[in-house]
Structure 1
Amino acid sequence: MRVEIWSDIACPWCYVGKARFEKALGAFPHRDEVEVVHRSFELDPHRAKGDVQPVLAMLTKKYGMSQAQAQAGEDSLGAQAGVEGLEYRTTGRDHGNTFDMHRLLHFAKERGRQDELIQLLYRANFAEERSVFTEGEERLVELAAAAGLDTDEARRVLRDPAAYADAVRADEREAAELGANGVPFFVLDRKYGVSGAQPAEVFAQALAQAWGERPALKLIEDGAADACGPDGCAVPQP
């Protein structure tokens, strides 16, 4: 079974939702038969690459809330992240364009290191003092290396603005076609969608339901045929 997760590194609920989903997946009896794929979704796709601002300033401007309201929201998010065992800095974080991170995640997927990289990007953005937005290319290369990727390859991807750009845009178009107007958005076997950072119990129920409705394999047979099995292979008859 395949689970696709549309998310953005700048999305705190994606950070929390991933932990809740993984808690459910860890208890799922068929977890070793579930493929998880991370898909791209930019919360702020029109923000210029160099346009970085404090999270609290972004929240007050975008949602028309006061500084106190924005801080209260961050404090609440920090508390909920803590319940999931996640570190979350409620002050001092910044916000910026995530397009290069999504391109790098597509490269990581090709190398089989996508989940490792997205977890490191989330932690860097939400838990660490260093910024994933202001330190530039080398910070992302450093995180790519920590995820097990080749630094020279990662640097080449970041320096080529066309590398994996089409893959990011394709993910975003597909999200729109599926009706996802926010993230995190989970799609299970292209049958069920789960929107938001739901409790682990909801994810557990969705996994069980999607697994239970997988079609049984139908065999097409035309009489007996030679084959091999645990006891050996059929011996051709003259």
Structure 2
Amino acid sequence: MRVEIWTDIACPWCYVGKARFDKALEAFPHRDQVEVVHRSFELDPGRAKDDIQPVLAMLTKKYGMSEAQAQAGEENLGAQAAAEGLEYRTRDRDHGNTFDMHRLLHLAKEQGRQSELIQAFYTANFAEERSVFSEGDERLIELAVAAGLDADAARAVLADPTAYAADVRADEREAAQLGANGVPFFVLDRKYGVSGAQPAEVFAQALTEAWGERSPLKLIDEGGAQACGPDGCAVPQH
């Protein structure tokens, strides 16, 4: 069974939602037969790469809330994250463009290190003092290496703005086609969609139901049809 998860590194609910989903998956009896693929979604795709600002300033401008309201929201998120065993800095984080991180996640997917890299990005963005935005490419390369990627390969991707760009845009188009207008957005075997950072119990139910509806292969064999197998190909007898 395949689970596709559309997320953005700048999305705190994606950070919390991943922890909740991971908890449900860990307890799922068929977890070893579940493939998890992380898909790209930018909450702020029009933001310039060098347009970096404090999270509170971004929230007050984008949602028209006061700084006190924005800070209260961050405190609530911190409590939600703590309940899942996650660290979360409620103050002095910044916000910026995540396109390059998504491009690196596609590189990581090819190398089988996508889960490790997205967790490294989440932890760096939400729990660590150093920024994933203001320190430039070398900070992203450092995180990529920590997740098991080759430094030169990561550096080459960041040096070429076209590398994996089409893959990111394809993910975003597909999200729109599926009706996802926010993240996290989970799609299970292209049969079930789960929107938002739901409780682990909801993810557990979705996994169980999606697994239960997996259709066994229905074999149609009228007999006598030619086929190839481990012992070679049948030769028609006349």
TM-score range, shorter chain: over 0.9
Corresponding residue of 2:145: 145
Equivalent-residue separation in structure 2 for 1:189 and 1:218 (angstroms): 18
The runs of 5 or more residues in structure 2 that have no matched partner are: 232-238
The runs of at least 4 aligned residues of structure 1 exceeding 2 Å deviation read: 219-223
Q: Which amino acid aligns with 1:28?
A: F
Distance of 1:26 and 1:155 partners within structure 2: 33
Measured in 2, the distance between the counterparts of 1:40 and 1:150 equals 21
Report the TM-score when normalising by structure 2. 0.93
Write the distance in 2 (CA, Å) between the matches of 1:36 and 1:178.
18
1:98 corresponds in structure 2 to 98
Q: Aligned with 1:5: secondary structure?
A: strand
Q: Give the residue type in structure 2 aligned to 1:109.
A: K
Q: Deviations over 1:129-181 (max 9, x none)?
A: 00000000000000000010000010000100000000000000000000000
| Counterpart position of 1:53 | 53
- Give 1:193's aligned residue: 193
TM, length-normalised to structure 1: 0.93
Structure 1 residue 44, shift from structure 2 partner: 0.2
What is the Cα deviation at residue 217 of structure 1? 1.7
Q: Which residue is equivalent to 1:217?
A: 217
Q: Give the corresponding residue for 2:8.
A: 8
Aligned to 1:128: 128
Percent identity between the aligned chains?
Answer: 82
Query: How far off its partner does 1:220 sit?
Result: 3.4
What's the CA shift string for 1:41-71, capped at 9, x where partnerless?
A: 0000000000000000000111111111000
* 187-196 vs 214-223, which moves further: 214-223
**1:42 counterpart SS class:** coil
Question: Between Structure 1 and Structure 2, how many residues are aligned?
Answer: 229
Supply the distance in 1 between the matched residues of 2:163 and 2:126 (Cα, whole angstroms).
26
Q: Give the equivalent residue in structure 1 for 2:82.
A: 82
Determine if the alignment matches structure 1 residue 207 to structure 2 residue 189: no
Match in the other structure for 1:236 = none
* Partner of residue 107, structure 1: 107
Alignment map for 1:30-41 (pairs within 5 Å): 30-41=30-41
Hey, what does 1:117 align to over in structure 2?
117
Which structure 1 segments of 5+ residues have no match? 234-238
**Separation in 2 of the partners of 1:109 and 1:69?**
38
Paired residue for 1:62? 62
> What is the CA distance between 1:122 and its match in structure 2?
0.1
- CA distance in 2 between counterparts of 1:153 and 1:45 reads 24
